[in-house]
A and B are shown apart, each in its own frame.
Chain A
Amino acid sequence: MTEQKPIVFVIDDDPAIREALDSLLRSVGHDVRCFASVAAFLDAAKPDIASCLVLDVRLPGKSGMDFQKELTHSETPLPVIMMTGHGDIAMSVQAMKAGAIDFLPKPFREQDLLDAITTALDKDRSRRIHVAELDALRARLATLSDGERDVVAQVVLGRLNKQIAGDLAISEITVKVRRARAMRKMQAGSLAELVKMIDRLATEPSAQGH
């Protein structure tokens, strides 16, 4: 898997700040997309690449603080770095509680921003890998037949082939065949691995891939 250039989104209503951030972030090799408002950002395409958002607190229309909260609770929780012209402690606490990577009062040290962006992109990257793995598992699970799925459901509970055969009213041979086929389809090297996979799918029912 070749790593595509990560994207840094910027929302700030001040064109001077947008231009400056665009130049600075391009100079360190980021792909930068700048927007003047939340609405413009929402309209823009967001490729499935590791990305993060540098967000100003004071914006026309929807405020940065509100949008950050919304984003955190959305299905695509983009890591957010907040910046503000005049922030107070209460505001920064609120932003950090809502999951901001950092809260930078303007003017800030560029290294602080670049560090925060690195952290944010790492976080988004691992979230995307995690989501992709779950998607793959879910796709593999979908290839299982009903019979195989029934057997797997019992196997992961630690039940013996004989017990499963009895419960499902099928022969022990059939249980073994279906179990082997399911392991192959799920690409599980061992029973332990299969259990772990099913466990992972069961504990994250809400995660929707994209």
Chain B
Amino acid sequence: MPRTSFLPLLGGRLLMVLLAVLTAVIFVLDTITNFEIAVAVLYVAIVLIAVQHLGRRQVVMVAAGCMALTMLSFALTRTGSVASGLVNCAISLVAIAVTTTLALRAAAAEAAAREAQAQLAHITRVTMLGELTASIAHELNQPLAAIVLNGNAALRWLAGQPANLDEANKAAERIVRDAVRATDLIKRLRGLTKKAAGKAVRLDLNQTVTETLPLIQNEVSRHRAVLRTELADALPRVHADPVQVQQVILNLIVNALEAMKGEPQREVTVLTALGQPGEVLVSIHDSGRGLAAAQPDQIFDPFYTTKPDGMGMGLAISRSIVESHGGRIWAQAGVPRGSTFTFSLPAARERQ
């Protein structure tokens, strides 16, 4: 049975019931005990739980409700000294108000920090990619330019009257030498990306998915989309670099969100499942426009993009990450609509 959760509400209904029960308990205790016992201070706990899972306005409403109940309890309580009851009631009200204010402020700061961090990560990635591309382009351009020039020179030496075979020969030799140089460069580049492959560890993909989703939550809300997960139980672990797997998942979700721009129904589902024996699958399904391309493989090529401001690198990078881990990535048309991107990672051997 797959676990299902609605991430924006995080089991919202269950939480609301829990909060209601807790509130009721506090209210009853506060009312039946005498004035000297300030059970109402416990409403602070309600506020603190609410702030973790609810929006700002909802938290304020919860706090107001708690304060109202505190005063109602005061009115209904029959035993004890009214004077100390009044003081206790006031203390409780102040405690609830102060806690609400501070907790909301802390939550806002935390959200801002998370957003800033996500932005920074994005900027760093884009800048690094730009610099890397520029430097690779320059390094590759040199031998390529030399090859082109030598080729032209050879043609001209051959076309001369009489043809200068010696010079043409030398130019051809230089073409071979420079082509080898370009190849070496590409080999070194491959080595570099392998080195940057990061540290592979034993990874629970369900956990990776769960940890990744909060990073993209802001983006999901901005697109007014719903993010769901369907995580299979008892998945074998995989051997992979968690940061890179996260990057693939993020890339695919961002793509899914952009594919749903302007669609009436915007829903992204992240699924984990068992694939073929020894293989774990992660799928990102969206309710977007679907794949326009006739060849779904082409979309993984570098610089292939359907977005006006796209670089066409997201899927290409995702593919190279997945393949460097010994997995595969593919796209399918969704049922009944949208599209599904799936990648597989080989399961780790069940041994320490």
Contacts and interface: CB of A to CB of B under 8 A. Distances in A.
Given A17-B145, A106-B145, 9 more contacts: A16-B143, A20-B149, A23-B170, A27-B153, A28-B156, A83-B145, A86-B134, A107-B144, A110-B148
B155 to A, nearest CB: 9
Nearest to B156: A27
A24 interface: yes
A54 B150 CA distance: 16
B160 interface: yes
A108 B144 CA distance: 10
A164 interface: no
B271 to A, nearest CB: 43
Interface residues of B, number: 27
15 contacts: A16-B143, A19-B146, A20-B174, A23-B153, A23-B157, A27-B153, A27-B164, A86-B141, A106-B141, A106-B142, A107-B141, A107-B147, A107-B148, A108-B145, A110-B148
A27 B138 contact: no
Contacts of A19: 146, 150, 174
B160 A23 contact: no
B69 interface: no
A23 B145 contact: no
B240 interface: no
Interface in A19-64: 19-21, 23-24, 26-28, 58
Contact of A14 (B146, B150, B171, B174): B146
B137 interface: yes
**Which among B138, B146, B157, B181 has the highest number of chain A CB atoms within 10 Å?**
B146
B146 A17 contact: yes
A107 B214 CA distance: 46
Interface of B: 134, 137-139, 141-150, 152-153, 156-157, 160, 164, 167, 170-171, 174, 177-178, 181
Nearest to A22: B153
A85 interface: yes
A130 B138 CA distance: 40
A19 B177 CA distance: 12
A85 B144 CA distance: 10
Contacts of A106: 141-142, 144-145
B146 A85 contact: no
A107 B152 CA distance: 12
A173 B148 CA distance: 73
Contacts of A28: 156
Given A17-B149, A28-B156, A85-B137, A23 B167 contact: yes
Interface residues of A, number: 19
Contact of B167 (A14, A16, A27, A86): A27
A160 to B, nearest CB: 65
B148 A85 contact: no
Given A20-B150, A28-B156, A107-B148, A86 B174 contact: no
Given A85-B142, A107-B141, A107-B144, A20 B134 contact: no
- Candidate in B137, B141, B177 with the most chain A CB atoms within 10 angstroms: B141
B141 to A, nearest CB: 4
Contacts of B143: 16
B137 A86 contact: yes
B171 to A, nearest CB: 5
A186 B177 CA distance: 61
B150 A86 contact: no
Interface string A79-90: 000010110000
A85 B142 CA distance: 7
A110 B145 contact: no
Nearest to B171: A23
Contacts of B174: 16, 19-20, 23
B332 to A, nearest CB: 39
Nearest to B181: A16
Nearest to B133: A86
B134 A16 contact: no
A32 to B, nearest CB: 11
B352 to A, nearest CB: 49
Contacts of B138: 58, 85-86
